Amino acid sequence: MSRSAARRMIEEGSVRVDGTASSPAHKMRGGERVEARVVEEGLEPEDIPIPLVFEDEHLMVVDKPAGLVVHPGAGNRSATLVNALLDKGIAGGEDPERPGIVHRLDRDTSGLMVLAKSEEAYAGLV
C-alpha cells in the first residue's frame, strides 16, 4: 500500500488507534492497537478485444499482445487480460483476480496463453 493510500484511509476514518479514529499526525507509542478497515475494489469486466486462437468447452487459447498486462496489480486495476476475461464470463481457479489463468506472460511479451474455462480444467492444468 502506498503512503498516499494509507493517508487517505486515515483521513477517511478507516484507521483506528485503540478504538478511536486516528489522524495522519498521530505519533504511535508502544502497545497501541491499530485497526484498519480495508475495502477491496472489485474488478470490472471490460470489452477488450483479444485474438482468440482456440476454444472448446474446457479451454481457451488467446494471443496476448505485447503491452497488455495479464492480471491487475498496483497501478493496473483496469485494461488487463483479467478484465477482458471477466467480460467474457471466464471463471476458474482459486483467485478471483486470475480467472482461468494458469500461467502468465510479462506485459511487454506477446504470445499464446492457455486459459481454463472451468474449475475442472483449471485443476487439470495447474
Query: Taking the domain 52-125, which CATH number applies?
Result: 3.30.2350.10
pLDDT at residue 95, as a whole number: 64
- Note the pLDDT of residue 99: 74
Q: Tens digits of per-residue pLDDT, 90-123?
A: 765 666 667 788 898 999 999 999 998 888 888 8
Is residue 91 within 8 Å of 101, Cβ to Cβ? no
106 is an active site residue = yes
Every domain of the chain and the residues it spans: 3-36, 52-125
Report pTM.
0.63
Q: By C-alpha distance, which of 15, 76, 78 is closest to 45?
A: 78
- Given the residues 47, 56, 87, 106, the one annotated as active site: 106
SS3 45: coil
pLDDT in tens, 8-47: 888 888 888 998 888 999 999 999 999 887 655 677 889 9
For 7-18, the pLDDT digits (tens) are 888 888 888 899
